[in-house]
Amino acid sequence: MDLDVFSSHRNSEQMHLDARRAAVLVVDMVNDFCKPGGKMVLPGYETLVPPQLKVIAAARAAGAPVIWIHDSHRRNMRRDREFMKRTPHCVEGTWGVEIIDDLGARDDEIHVIKHRYSGFFQTDLDVTLKDMLVDQLVVFGVVTNICVRSTVHDAFFNGYSVVVPRDCCAATGPREQESSLYDIATHFGVVSDAAAVAAAFSSGAVIQNHDIAA
């Protein structure tokens, strides 16, 4: 059976970003996942920084909020759900939870602490976005197939329009990257790139959904 026989039943989609309705969610670009000495480092994080900075700068210039999402886990839990599956990481109050310096996160921007993969699960992210009258999201960070994907799913379930710039994300491997982006593009949102998202913020250019091989 053709693997795409189900997912091929899709509507063509594009996105018009409106800075008055949009926000950027930067997911888990923290020391423990990116920097030498981190508990669970994804190699090659540095390739994500230039395109991420392009989107962040364009959003700020357009007046759209940038929201920083930090994975964080309390000490001495009897059963942390993530630690049942993953090496302990991002313990609250440690260097590992902090956003990498490369991205220039600001204290006057919103920072959301999460204890599970999704930035929405039992956090105040949804109510915060609704209070800001935001219904469009640009989502990126690490890793594509776990925390980014979970956040995108919940954004879709909560009624947000979502765009993921593919060059601003990295997965645990090439297969996982392409599979996750394919599923996002066909079921949950729009997959584009940093240049297109920055242009949408700066000039109102339309963001086209990328065709990704099944």
Catalytic residue numbers read 28, 114, 147
- 94: tokens are 């440690």
- Sequence-distant (≥ 6) Cβ neighbours of residue 189 within 8 angstroms: 139, 152, 155, 156, 161, 162, 163, 164
Q: What is the DSSP string of 19-42?
A: TTTEEEEEE--BHHHHSTT-SS--
Which spans in the chain are helix H?
31-34, 49-62, 125-131, 149-157, 174-183, 194-203
| Cβ-contact 184, 152 below 8 angstroms | yes
Distance from C-alpha of 86 to C-alpha of 93, rounded to nearest angstrom: 19
- Sequence-distant (≥ 6) Cβ neighbours of residue 4 within 8 angstroms: 214
